[in-house]
């Protein structure tokens, strides 16, 4: 088995969550919608999982940490500097024109980072994205809970 070098996270519903637990829609869509309001406050609508972020900060000397997302919510000033502190680079599928359900997008990211796909563990909440990453040769885990993801990562130590 090859050494795991890279942890590649989706952003929405793995690191960033809606404050309203009942909201089931896309976070980028919600962000675009509430951004139009005059009293918009990012932090009343979204929360970054600081426990996961702290955990990732504690292991970033062992792994390259990256985000692969499909929108632009990561550019919100309220979280951008925090994400940049933890992650080496943030990829958005809109920047290179390949969707997250296309295995080519994961090969693009692996090539850009400079590693083999099998040296990447991809964490996402959506099964279709997980399947595309598997087809590209990445190791994967579907996000259910923070503790489940941490347990999976700890198996590679």
- Across the chain, mean pLDDT equals 92
Q: What is the pLDDT of residues 131-153, one digit of tens each?
A: 999 999 999 999 999 999 999 99
- Sign of the dihedral defined by the CA atoms of residues 77, 47, 121, 86, in that order: positive
Q: Which residue's structure tokens are 């500097």?
A: 81
User: Does residue 130 carry a pLDDT above 90?
Assistant: yes
CB proximity list for 20: less than 8 A, separation 6 or greater: 45
User: Does residue 129 carry a pLDDT above 80?
Assistant: yes
Task: Identify the structural domains of the chain with CATH numbers, from first to last.
Answer: 6-17+48-154 (3.40.50.1000)
Residues 138, 122 contacting (CB under 8 angstroms): yes
Q: What is the pLDDT of residues 81-114, one digit of tens each?
A: 999 999 999 999 989 889 999 999 999 999 999 9
């Amino acid at each position: 088995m090859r050494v795991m070098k890279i942890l590649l996270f989706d952003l929405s519903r793995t690191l960033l969550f809606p404050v309203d637990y009942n909201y089931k829609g896309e976070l980028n869509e919600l962000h675009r919608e509430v951004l139009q309001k005059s009293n918009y406050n990012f932090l009343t609508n979204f929360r970054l999982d600081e426990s996961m972020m702290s955990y990732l900060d504690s292991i970033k000397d062992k792994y390259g940490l990256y985000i692969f997302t499909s929108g632009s919510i990561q550019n919100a000033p309220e979280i951008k500097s925090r994400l940049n502190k933890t992650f080496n680079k943030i990829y958005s599928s809109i920047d290179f024109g390949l969707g997250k359900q296309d295995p080519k997008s994961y090969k693009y990211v692996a090539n850009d980072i400079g590693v083999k796909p099998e040296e990447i563990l991809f964490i996402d909440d959506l099964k279709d994205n997980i399947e595309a990453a598997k087809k590209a040769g990445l190791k994967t885990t579907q996000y259910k809970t923070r503790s489940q993801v941490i347990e999976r990562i700890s198996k590679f130590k």
